[in-house]
Structure 1
């Protein structure tokens, strides 16, 4: 499939063979399965990221244990995962595989640090650096009410490790719920939510059903579907809806943000657009910014793929541009009640 798309391809039947051929072939992108004879995919990936850092796309089964292992691969430095079909020909994923490999070829492998070290450095930045304190002219002060607002996050390629730079730094007292549209296959987002829940002070859940949004929580959109905000019984909820056929990426960040703008004024919304290919989320967050809402675009220096945040910046819709490890600090300074901010 990759040769037919114009790529020059070399193959290896095992992790050991792949490592031996890497210096000779010097690929722009590596595709890697989790389950292989001899050396497993995670061990091979770890060696690649140390010895021959390259963008790696995991092509594997994302059900059960496979989803857990593939999430770990993304944490180790893989830029994206493509789900092999449970039945039938692998040719069914040809289009997705080609598109993902093309995007990975222009990505930058992240420097892999342990989570504890990344959090330590980010907390030091929060404590020691200035952040933008001004609000858009059209926005009022954040109301101290039961329903304050929502932080809306759009993210794609490179997302799991980028979310780890942000969500674990938000304190349990963070007053607005956070809703995340992470482009992922349907079998994967529940595992992502569980992993993030283990490392965050906030409660992290997958929106597999209608979920009431409350302070102190992060809601991850279910993979393979879209997520919209709705008001039922006077309370804001995140509602899983069928994927819109006229949108190429799911869960759709644009659809999430547009639904939020129908329910809440701009001063009660913050849009955050992170790493990812394409332009999902750029149009809606630019609209939010134009209406007086606050928006953050991830800086090129930390983005695995700069496509989505770059598009927001090009549209003039980024209120602030920050590397991923400074975004939590900015949200805290905007929204956390005085005296209860993380240091």
Structure 2
């Protein structure tokens, strides 16, 4: 039976989360502080830890860092997903947490409870991402949240990024990326490795609440040679740019006046995940030949994007599925592989290099 350690300074929240997970069949123990959690880890040896983001004394980021260094376990952050809590939660995802879920309040408890149970089950099968320079990243994370100047540590970037440029490609094409659980760290590994002259725009559907995607886009923009923006409104799709779909919505490719446009739309009914990968890929296939599209399906639970990227593959487009060795959760890429829809199965660190080999900087893919 899956064992879960619930860490929260609120007695009410500990009871509420523990009750939800116990009813779902998990064996649960609780801890009121980060120190109690660290003491419990080697004794209880949980399969998953749920960790409050904001706690007095040892805060959630510090506790997460200690867990990942001393007793690596899949960690699910539990957050209000608003304001400073959202900022800290995104930092936790960068530092190795598997996923984040909303705190179960008094309203809408059933939907939140279902999401919590589903996330903990997926986390139990995940592998914690090994994060280089974790202690230094933790220090910088706190500095950024406190509003201090941020400087990327040397171990994050192999060489200075070249000056940005919008090198107009000679061929119209798009890279479509779908990602969920474990996504922020995976995107930070792939996107900074693409040079400023990369010819095709990149559109990313990352399953994430609306309060996260703007912060994620700004963070990626800081460390990428390409420009990274949140697609919070309709905007022209241009080379040299990465478009992060706005959280809680879906993203479509449209055409206006002969130009491709990234257009956020309300969540499509019947789709369980948002921003939805299938919606993004379907819209691109309506406007461009499959040969002008590259699909990349990365870590995440579920099957979003698998069917449409398999269709893209059958129609002559090219696709990459992240391999099990690097995926935090192998669900989404595994579903693409099962559908015989992947041209290549690659670990995340090799994805950018393959995109460069296929597309290059002149768009003559």
> Are residue 221 (structure 1) and residue 245 (structure 2) matched?
yes
> Are residue 299 (structure 1) and residue 318 (structure 2) matched?
no
1:278-303, CA deviations, whole angstroms, 9 ceiling, x for partnerless residues? Answer: 11000000000000001000011000
Shift of 1:90: 5.2
Aligned to 2:93, the other structure's residue is in SS state helix
1:257-311, CA deviations, whole angstroms, 9 ceiling, x for partnerless residues? Answer: 0100000001110000000001100000000000000100001100000010011
Aligned to 1:227, the other structure's residue is in SS state strand
Contact 1:180 1:220 (8 Å CA) reproduced: yes
> Are residue 49 (structure 1) and residue 73 (structure 2) matched?
no
Q: TM-score, normalised to structure 1's length?
A: 0.89
> Counterparts of 1:116 and 1:305 in 2: how far apart (Å)?
28
| Equivalent of residue 264 in structure 1, options 273, 282, 288 | 288
> Counterparts of 1:308 and 1:160 in 2: how far apart (Å)?
15
Q: Which residue of 2 aligns with 1:235?
A: 259
Contact 1:82 1:96 (8 Å CA) reproduced: yes
Gaps of 5+ in 2: 1-19, 134-152, 162-167
Aligned to 1:261, the other structure's residue is in SS state helix
User: Cα 1:23–1:287, aligned 2, differ >3 Å: closer, same or farther?
Assistant: same
> Counterparts of 2:88 and 2:303 in 1: how far apart (Å)?
28
Contact 2:177 2:297 (8 Å CA) reproduced: yes
Gaps of 5+ in 1: 124-142
> Are residue 201 (structure 1) and residue 225 (structure 2) matched?
yes
| Equivalent of residue 312 in structure 1, options 329, 333, 336 | 336
> Are residue 35 (structure 1) and residue 54 (structure 2) matched?
yes
Shift of 1:87: 6.9
Contact 2:192 2:223 (8 Å CA) reproduced: yes
Q: Which residue of 2 aligns with 1:117?
A: 155
Q: Which residue of 1 aligns with 2:78?
A: 59
> Counterparts of 1:119 and 1:151 in 2: how far apart (Å)?
23
> Counterparts of 2:304 and 2:214 in 1: how far apart (Å)?
22
Q: TM-score, normalised to structure 2's length?
A: 0.84
Higher relative contact order (CA 8 A, sep 6+): 1
Shift of 1:76: 1.1
| Equivalent of residue 161 in structure 1, options 166, 173, 185 | 185
Runs of 4+ in 1 over 3 A off after TM superposition: 85-92, 114-121
> Are residue 286 (structure 1) and residue 310 (structure 2) matched?
yes
Aligned to 1:247, the other structure's residue is in SS state coil
1:100-156, CA deviations, whole angstroms, 9 ceiling, x for partnerless residues? Answer: 0000000000111147536539x9xxxxxxxxxxxxxxxxxxx953x5111000000
Q: Which residue of 2 aligns with 1:21?
A: 40
> Are residue 7 (structure 1) and residue 45 (structure 2) matched?
no
> Counterparts of 2:108 and 2:58 in 1: how far apart (Å)?
25
> Counterparts of 2:105 and 2:260 in 1: how far apart (Å)?
36
> Counterparts of 2:256 and 2:64 in 1: how far apart (Å)?
46
User: Cα 1:190–1:337, aligned 2, differ >3 Å: closer, same or farther?
Assistant: closer
Shift of 1:334: 1.0
Shift of 1:181: 0.3
> Counterparts of 1:83 and 1:113 in 2: how far apart (Å)?
28
> Counterparts of 1:10 and 1:310 in 2: how far apart (Å)?
32
Shift of 1:37: 2.2
1:211-237, CA deviations, whole angstroms, 9 ceiling, x for partnerless residues? Answer: 211000000011111111100121101
Q: Which residue of 1 aligns with 2:4?
A: none
Aligned to 1:188, the other structure's residue is in SS state helix
> Counterparts of 1:25 and 1:9 in 2: how far apart (Å)?
10
Q: Which residue of 1 aligns with 2:13?
A: none
> Counterparts of 1:102 and 1:163 in 2: how far apart (Å)?
23
> Counterparts of 1:319 and 1:190 in 2: how far apart (Å)?
32
> Counterparts of 2:34 and 2:63 in 1: how far apart (Å)?
5
Aligned to 2:320, the other structure's residue is in SS state strand
Shift of 1:71: 1.1
Contact 1:60 1:82 (8 Å CA) reproduced: yes
User: Cα 1:119–1:316, aligned 2, differ >3 Å: closer, same or farther?
Assistant: farther
